[in-house]
Amino acid sequence: MDDKQLPKPRRDFLKLSVAGAAAMGIPVASEAQTAAAKAAAASPGYVWLRPNEQSFVEALVNHMCPADELTGNGMALGLNVFFDRILGGEWGQGSRLYLKGPFPKGTPNQGYQLGLTPSQLFRAGTEGLNEFCKKQFNKPFETLAVADKESVLKDLQTGKIKLSNEIPSNTYFSHLYQMFTEAMFSDPIYGGNRNKAGWKMIGYPGVSTNNRQNIVKFKNIPFKVEPTSISDVS
C-alpha cells in the first residue's frame, strides 16, 4: 500500500500519534527485566495471540503503518510482536488494575471504567469487530479493501459501530490506538520499533543521558543522532 491510498501522509499521521500520546515515557527496566524483554522480543512466533487475532493485528498494523521509501510496514517494524508480547504480559493481564468493581458507566473524563483486563478488552473487542465485518462485508477485517478498513476504524473511533457483545467501540479503538502508538515508539526490547525506526522518524535520541542539555543546545537547529536503546546501554 502506498501513501496515496491513505487520507493523509503516513509520516504526518505517525508524528501526530506521538503528539497525541501524552508524555509517553520509556520505563526504566532492571537488568533481569531487560534480559527477559530481549528474550521475549527475539522469540520466533506468537506467544499469546490466537490465529484469527494474529491475522487481524497484522492487517491492522500494516494499514496504520504502511511501507514507504524509508521504512517497512508495521510487521517489518515488529508492531505485531509488540501487541502479542504486551497483551500476554503483566500489563495485558491487568496486574496493576483494580478489578473488583463496581463498574458503573463513567463519564469521558473518568477514563477507562470497564471491568476487563487489557487482554480481555482486546479479545472481546476483536471478536465483536470480526462479527461486525462478517455481517457488514461478508469477510473479516484483514481481507477488506483499504478504503473499507479505513471506514471501519473511523467508525470505531467515533463509536458509530455497535458491537454485538456490547463492548464500547470507541473504547476498543482507543485501546488499539494506544498499543499501536506504543509499539511504534517504545524501546525496541519490547518487540516493536524494530531497528529504532520510529525514533529515527521523529528524531528521538532514545535513552540518551544528555538529552536535556540537547533540547536547549539544539533549539531550532537540526538534530541528527543515532538513537540509543536500553539494550545498547545494558
CA distances from 115 to 8, 49, 100, 121, 125 (A): 35, 21, 8, 9, 13
CA triple 109-115-118, angle to 5 deg: 85
pLDDT in tens, 85-133: 999 999 999 998 888 888 887 787 877 788 899 999 999 999 999 999 9
Show the CA angle centred on residue 202, arms to residues 193 and 145, nearest 5°: 65
Biggest CA–CA distance in the chain, Å, is: 56
Please give the DSSP secondary-structure letter assigned to residue 89. S
How much of the chain exceeds pLDDT 70, in percent? Answer: 80
pLDDT of residue 21 exceeding 50: no
- Count of all residues that appear for the chain in the document: 234
Is residue 228 classed as helix, strand or coil in its secondary structure?
Answer: strand
Output the pLDDT for position 109: 82
Q: How many CA atoms lie within 13 A of 117 on its CB side?
A: 14
How much is the average pLDDT of 47-75? 95
Q: Cα separation of 39 and 45, whole Å?
A: 12
pLDDT, greater one: 145 or 113: 145
pLDDT value of residue 202: 87
pLDDT at res. 205: 86
* Res 196 pLDDT > 90: yes
State whether residue 97 is helix, strand or coil: coil
pLDDT at 146 over 80: yes
pTM of structure: 0.78
> If DSSP codes are grouped into helix, strand and coil, which group holds residue 54?
helix
65 touches 15 (CB < 8 A): no
Mean pLDDT taken over the chain: 83
Domain ranges of the chain: 3-19+30-232
Select, from the ranges 24-38, 42-56, 66-80, 200-214, the one with the highest average predicted confidence (pLDDT). 66-80
Contact between 229 and 206 under an 8 Å Cβ cutoff? The reply is: yes
More confident: 181 or 37: 181
> What cell numbers appear for 117 in the block?
483486563
